[in-house]
């Protein structure tokens, strides 16, 4: 049974609905605001204590970054299908990787593949500082050894054949014809689709970066415990300790059929 009190509640609710529906929406208003930039240029007041603390670390960091690592005989730049910078970095990373790799199966690394976009700046002729190496490779990418089947390794070379930019490689010689691999040599041996291959790369690419999906189904995945950038620094330190300069050349490791 509906009591009088319930009827009164229902009528009051109906009244509120009608009142709300008849509200004059012309009285609605908009809140406006503006952005206050609080960066080094727009901050109204600098914190002197923070500035002093940061200054101490800044001076130390700049001193470290300006230290000379090694000297270069010439400018090294990225290129397609290969470049002096591509070849220099891939060769040294493979050398350092081979030195520190301790395979349980006794099989060494077959070749190295890195990414063109990971090389951010060229290396100048003359002094190469620590800071320049950090500009070259600002990322914390780790060195990884990926074991792939012959099928997946061939997909890797198919990827290189259609790539619009020259990927840094070492230990291979690839001839491309009509965007397809025509000839593949790995450590001077013809590619064999029936065997497995160990590829030294970065953890970024090993995770499928740059659309390298062939790395996503590895037979084995081994971290080497060293960053790609650290390998470059170590190589430069070794070269400088011998009183030598770094250099690289084009050797047609990736080329197009005539």
Using pLDDT thresholds of 50, 70 and 90, give the confidence band for residue 258: confident
pLDDT digits (tens, 9 = 90+) for 204-237: 999 999 999 999 999 999 999 999 999 999 999 9
Tens digits of residue pLDDT in 31-83? 777 676 666 666 656 666 666 666 566 666 677 789 999 999 999 999 999 99
Sign of the four-CA dihedral 211, 214, 220, 224: negative
Q: What does the domain layout of the chain look like in residue ranges? A: 61-256
> pTM (2 decimals)?
0.78
Residues 78-121 pLDDT 10s: 999 999 999 999 999 999 999 999 999 999 999 999 999 999 99
pLDDT score for 233: 97
Tokens at residue 74, please?
């010439």
Look up the CATH architecture of domain 61-256. Alpha-Beta Complex (3.90)
How many CB atoms neighbour CB 62 within 10 A? 10
The residue to which tokens 């206050």 are assigned: 36
Scan for tokens 């190589």, then name that residue: 235
Helix residue ranges per DSSP H, 101-169? 130-136, 150-162
């Amino acid at each position: 049974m509906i009591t009088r009190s319930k009827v009164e509640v229902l009528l009051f609710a109906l009244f509120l609905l009608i009142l709300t529906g008849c509200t004059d929406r012309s009285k609605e208003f908009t809140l406006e605001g503006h952005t206050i930039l609080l960066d080094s240029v727009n901050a109204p007041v600098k914190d002197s204590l923070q500035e002093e603390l940061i200054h101490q670390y800044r001076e130390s960091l700049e001193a470290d970054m300006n230290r000379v690592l090694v000297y270069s005989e010439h400018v090294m730049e990225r290129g397609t299908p290969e470049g002096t910078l591509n070849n220099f970095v891939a060769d040294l990373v493979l050398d350092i990787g081979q030195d520190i790799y301790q395979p349980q199966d006794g099989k060494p690394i077959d070749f190295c593949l890195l990414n063109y976009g990971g090389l951010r700046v060229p290396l100048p002729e003359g002094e190469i500082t620590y800071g320049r190496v950090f500009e070259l490779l600002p990322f914390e990418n780790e060195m990884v050894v990926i074991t792939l089947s012959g099928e997946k390794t061939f997909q890797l070379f198919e990827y290189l054949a259609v790539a619009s930019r020259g990927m840094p490689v070492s230990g291979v010689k690839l001839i491309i014809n009509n965007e397809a691999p025509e000839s593949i040599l790995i450590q001077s041996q013809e590619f064999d689709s029936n065997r497995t291959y160990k590829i030294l790369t970065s953890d970024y690419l090993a995770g499928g970066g740059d659309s390298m999906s062939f790395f996503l189904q590895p037979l084995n995945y081994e971290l080497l415990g060293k960053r790609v950038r650290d390998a470059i620094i170590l190589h430069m330190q070794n070269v400088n300790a011998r009183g030598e300069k770094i250099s690289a050349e084009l050797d047609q490791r990736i080329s197009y059929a005539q």
